[in-house]
Amino acid sequence: MPESKILYVEDEEVLAGLVKDHLERNSFLVKWVAHGNEAEAVLKQFQPDLCILDIMLPGLSGYEIGKIVRKEFKDVPIIFLTARSEAKDVVEGFKSGGNDYLRKPFSLEELMVRVNNLLAMSGRVTPTQFKIGKLFYDPVRMLMQNGSESVTLSHRENELLKMLAANLGLPVERKEILLQLWGDDHFFNSRNLDVYVVRLRKHLKMDPEVQLMTLKGVGYQLVVK
């Protein structure tokens, strides 16, 4: 599978070096831009699979770049980075086409989780492995492990977990799961889903910080405390 391409716009050189190095060590192809005014030309030439945009930049702001990204590439995920914490800034980020919002300082591990999840949700790239809390989940090998402890999932368990992991921290509708995994949402399949949810919860006990929550009237949500 070809490397996923990430456009990273950040004027803090030290932070940019750390993030770029970490992403490249995790098999991403990264194009770093330090000035907002350079981003549009690089965007069109590089054609990224995902964009990480700092908000406060010389030249065009991250918000302005986000609007350009959304106009040129409707389905490319955008993560905004900022030191700000006001709710209005979060709202502005989503209005500018953002899919996620990460406040500085942030951990590189958290950034990686968000990058992988957004790529999976966008359908542009399917990650070969997810990190869920302390758990490593490999949907190709249908394997979930925490250190030396591991479990091999059944096909249906694997398909369910893959769907939930791709939406980590977000609600997934019960009907959507039934339609994607079984093709319809009639009573028999609904009861089957209940069985697989119980099984997954047992497997996820390998990390007590990971929970598969039931959202009454909605569906399920995979979260890390």
Beta-carbon contacts of 191 under 8 Å, excluding residues fewer than 6 positions away, are none
Both 44 and 102 in one domain: the answer is yes
Residues 43, 101, 114, CA angle at the centre, nearest 5°? 80
Sheet holding 219-224, edge to edge: 171-173, 219-224, 210-215
The pLDDT tens digits for 85-112 are 656 666 777 777 888 888 888 888 889 8
pTM higher than 0.85 for the full model? Answer: no
Both 10 and 115 in one domain: the answer is yes
The pLDDT tens digits for 149-180 are 999 999 999 999 988 987 788 888 999 899 88
Both 155 and 96 in one domain: the answer is no
Domain count, the chain: 2
Both 170 and 81 in one domain: the answer is no
CATH of the domain at 39: 3.40.50.2300
Structural domain boundaries, residue 175: 130-224
The pLDDT tens digits for 5-38 are 999 999 999 999 999 998 888 778 899 999 999 9
CATH of the domain at 162: 1.10.10.10
**Of 122, 153, 175, which one is at a domain's C-terminal end?**
122
